[in-house]
Structure formats: structure tokens, C-alpha cells
Amino acid sequence: MRKKTKQSTTTQYSLTDLVIESILDKKGEEVVHLDLTALNDAVADHFIICHADSTTQVMAIGNHIAQNVLDKAGLRPFGKEGFENAEWIIIDYTDVVVHVFYKEKRYFYQLEDLWHDAAIKKVS
């Protein structure tokens, strides 16, 4: 497990808001924000989860998030994966981790159920 690095609350919340805004710009569906800060064993403080109906849209959402966060906040992700097949893209900003799923993959992996102890806020 990697060590968490705490960002200021303002930075965290503005980053989550920027990610959510980016997802909604590209019509991401069922956007959910999981606040994991109260969980001791969480790998991040926040998960943002959404899905799309096509891999093309998954790719568009992932690219838009990365570019929009870079343009507006000057942040590059710590890591990103899944752009090759665009069925599950992960963009890791250390304390905020974004999951963009192809619809069927989201329901298969059910991250919200895995992290059911988190505070869950449905955005759309």
C-alpha cells in the first residue's frame, strides 16, 4: 500500500469538482463520488466513478479529464492506465482516483459495493 500524501482540503475538493465537471462535459453516466477519508485502509481519499456506453466515449472522458485538470489546475496524474482498450480507465491523482468504465465492466466489478463503508454521493 502506498503512503497517502495529504493535500489541503480546498485542493482536494476543487480537484474532485474539476474531475466531476470534466466527466459531465463528456456526458459520463451515473457519476459517483466516494469519500474514503474515514477509512484507514483506503488507497486514496476520494474515488470518482462513472461509466459510458461505448469504449470511444470512455476514451473521450478519460482524455478530457486528464487535459482539463492539466489546463485548469496544472496537475498531471501520478499514473493512468486502461487507455489501450478503454474498458476501465484509471487516472490516479494520488488522493483522488478516477475510474471511467465501459458500462458492462462497471457492473461486473462493482467498486461501490467493494467500498460500501465510504460516504457515497451520487452526482448524476
pTM: 0.87
Question: CB of 86 within 8 A of CB of 101?
Answer: no
Question: CB of 49 within 8 A of CB of 29?
Answer: no
Phi, psi for residue 32 in degrees, rounded to 5: -130, 140
Domain that holds residue 72: 10-113
Question: CB of 62 within 8 A of CB of 91?
Answer: yes
Is 121 within a domain?
no
pLDDT of residue 110: 93
State pLDDT tens for residues 7-49: 443 455 589 999 999 999 999 999 999 999 988 888 899 999 9
pLDDT of residue 116: 85
State pLDDT tens for residues 45-104: 999 999 999 999 999 999 999 999 999 999 999 999 999 999 999 999 999 999 999 999
Is 5 within a domain?
no
Q: CA–CA distance from 39 to each of 47, 49, 63, 71, 117 (Å)?
A: 12, 18, 29, 31, 8
Is 44 within a domain?
yes
Is 72 within a domain?
yes
Q: What CATH number should be reported for the domain holding residue 76? A: 3.30.460.10
Please count the structural domains in the chain. Answer: 1
